[in-house]
Structure formats: C-alpha cells, structure tokens
Amino acid sequence: MAELKVGIIFGGRSEEHLVSVKSAREVARNLDLEKYEPFYIGITKSGAWKLCDGPDAEWENRNGRPVVLSPDNDVHGLLVLEEGSYGMIRLDVVLPVLHGTLGEDGAIQGLLELSGIPYVGCDVQSSAVCMDKSLAYVVARSAGIATPDFWTVTEDENIDPARLTYPVFVKPARSGSSFGVTEVSREEELASAVETARQYDTKVLIEETVVGSEIGCAILGKGSDLIAGEVDRIALSHGFFRIHQEDAPETGSENSMAIVPADVPEESRLRVQETAEAVYRALGCSGLARVDMFLKEDGEVVLNEVNTFPGMTSYSRYPRMMAAAGLPLTEVIDRTISLALKGKV
C-alpha cells in the first residue's frame, strides 16, 4: 500500500507549458505506485489549477476539480473546491514538474515554502538566481567559474551595436528552451533580435559566442553528496541548439543530436563533471539540476546555463544522462523525493 501522498504539479502559464505536461507524463510512467500515491495538479495555460487523473493528452479539456495549494501549514496540502464547500488533501511532498517562468524562477517554490510542504528541487533563492542567466554568471564568476562575456539590456535601455564583436547571441535573461533566442551576425540585426527576446522577458541578455562543443551534465543531490550523470554532447549539423523547438521532438531534431556518453576525452569528461558540480554548489542548487556548458578546444569549460528542473520527457537530456550513469528515472524520482523529505541544506 502506498505510504506517501505526492502532489505532482505540471503545466503552468509559461511558454514551456507543453514540455511540462510531457515531463509529467514521463514521471507518471516511472513513479513507483507501491511507494507513492500521486495527486496530479494541472495548471492550465490561463492559470487555473485542476485536480485531475493525470497528464494525458486531454487533461486540460476535462472537468477536473478546482483546487488550490493552501499556504496554511495546518492544511499542509490542497483545498479541493466542491459545490458550496471544500475538502482537504494532506500532501507529504510535492514534485513541481514545471519549467520556465513561474516554475523554475522561485515562484512555486515560494508558495511551497509558505505551505510547509517538502518539495523536490532547488529552493527559492537558487531557483531565482539560476533562472536569471546574468545573475547566475555573476555568482559563477565570483566562484572562479568561466562564463561568456555578456551585456544586459533592461526594458528602458538600448545598446550601441557598434560596441559588440559579432557574432553574439541575444536571449531573454529569464526564459528557457531557447525561446526568444537569436544568433546575430551583423550590427543591423541586433535591434530586431532584442525585440524578439523582449517578447519573453523585459530583461535581455547579449552574450559573446563561445567557440566550442555544447556539453551538459546532470547533477543529483545536495551539499557535498552529489551524483554526476554521464556527460552528453550536442552534435550540430548547422545553426544552434533549439531544444523543444521542433514540431515533433520525440522523433528527433532537424539539426542536432545528443550523444550520451559524450565522445570526448576522459580528461575532458571529468573536467566537465567537476565544473558542473562546482556550478551547482556555487549557485546553491539542491535536489537536481542540469548544467549546460561549452567545452573549448583548449579544454576550458565555460558555463552556459543551469536548468533547476530540467526536462523529464522521453527525449530529454537529464534522464538520459542519469540512465547512462546507472540511475533510471524511477530511481532518480525516489532519490529526489528522499532528499526533499530530509530537508534543504
């Protein structure tokens, strides 16, 4: 008989809504039902919370019961709204399977802190810092970790195109899955790229182009007790890596392929894993995260970004890297829930 009541929150109002649903679907397939009793809370694109049977393809069109996560510690869970009254469901732990804005930026983590319910993943502070790539770079640099040179452009600012050395990447400072990202090769392209990024965030990040392989590492754990998954490398045929931007990502990408384990020398693989762990600690991460980096020809590892709740879909990088290291998704879920119940560092 299942012992722990687990709230699985998915969907959300961000541009990564669909990816979140797919991630939750994979989590549902790999959840050990002998240990956990799942309660699926879907957040629609408009922000309505529904208690539903699961993240199937039609969940949003069905009449799930309206539900809210109570910030009251005495409730310690969900208020299910019935006709003229409400019921309560006490939760032992929450898996916030949410990506992007309001999912990885500390917002849902703050609500869970108020509720007093243990939750999987990074806390409010580390989620917020990692979500803002410019802040993450500042913290990482202070810890001696290499980052690209970068400039930020706020809502009321402009930047002189002549001051930059091209090509550069222009992206929203606080978004994910390559939404709003443009590679800019000439001065006259910059203004349009900034406007594209501003569709997703008022704060825009402009980065120098780092020449090297795109490489990543999955991390699980907290404090000094970390597990690094196998390193992967993104093999590009052309353009740049646009994760989750394909019409049917399950069937593959038209310009990229993730190679796991990465086809890099052992010395480089170890350096990437060590750098990923250093980034994870410097940014205060706990539970799990995927650290994306660049591996330059001279062996230097440069931070790209940190995903504090990486994709868990059938084609996502994090579960594939952990599986290659001997940890299937069922065990990853078990370990992250155990970490949540033990408390944050």
Q: What is the model's pLDDT at position 319?
A: 97
Count of Cβ atoms closer than 10 Å to residue 323 Cβ:
17
Domain with residue 245: its CATH number is: 3.30.470.20
- Do 187 and 267 sit in the same domain of this protein? no
pLDDT score for 344: 43
Pair 234, 331 in one domain? yes
Looking at the structure, tell me whether residues 136 and 191 fall in a common domain.
no
CA distances from 162 to 142, 194, 196 (A): 28, 15, 20
14-37 burial by CB neighbour count: b if 16+ within 10 A, else e?
Answer: bbbbebbbbbbbbbbebbeeeebe
Using alpha carbons, select from 176, 177, 142 the residue that is nearest to residue 281. Answer: 142
pLDDT of 174 reads: 92
**Predicted pLDDT at 86:** 87
91 in Cβ contact with 39 (< 8 Å): yes
Contact 277, 270 (CB under 8 A): no
Q: Are residues 140 and 84 in the same domain?
A: no
Return phi, psi of residue 231, to 5°: -75, 145
- Domain of 176? 150-208
Q: What is the rounded CA–CA span in Å between residue 295 and residue 201?
A: 28
- Six-digit token pair at 323? 């599986």
In this structure, the answer to whether residues 251 and 335 fall within a common structural domain is: yes
pLDDT given for residue 162 in this prediction: 92
pLDDT of 84 reads 77
Q: Does residue 236 sit in the same domain as residue 330?
A: yes
State the catalytic residues.
19, 22, 99, 244, 250, 290, 311, 315
Q: What is the dihedral of CA 304, 306, 307, 311, to 10 degrees?
A: 50
Number of domains making up the chain: 3
**pLDDT averages per 10-residue partition of the chain, 345 residues:** 89 93 97 97 95 92 90 93 88 97 96 97 97 97 97 91 94 85 95 94 95 96 94 76 56 70 97 98 98 97 97 94 98 97 68
Say yes or no: 171 and 59 in one domain.
no
Which residue spans within 44-119 are E strands per DSSP? 49-52, 65-69, 77-82, 85-90, 93-97
182 and 231 in a single domain? The answer is no
